[in-house]
Amino acid sequence: STAGSVSSETIKHYVENQKTRG
């Protein structure tokens, strides 16, 4: 499903963002 793919990419980006912060 496309929505699942988008969610995965969004979460991945968020996790990377959190890594940079912490």
* Six token digits for residue 17: 């963002």
Which has the higher per-residue pLDDT, 1 or 2? 2
Burial label, 7 (beta-carbon count in 10 A; 0-12, 13-18, 19+): exposed
Amino acid 7 reads S
Taking residues 1-22, report their average pLDDT: 87
Burial label, 8 (beta-carbon count in 10 A; 0-12, 13-18, 19+): exposed
Whole-model pTM: value is 0.42
Local confidence band at 1 (pLDDT 50, 70, 90 cut-offs): low
Residue 18 has pLDDT above 90, yes or no: yes
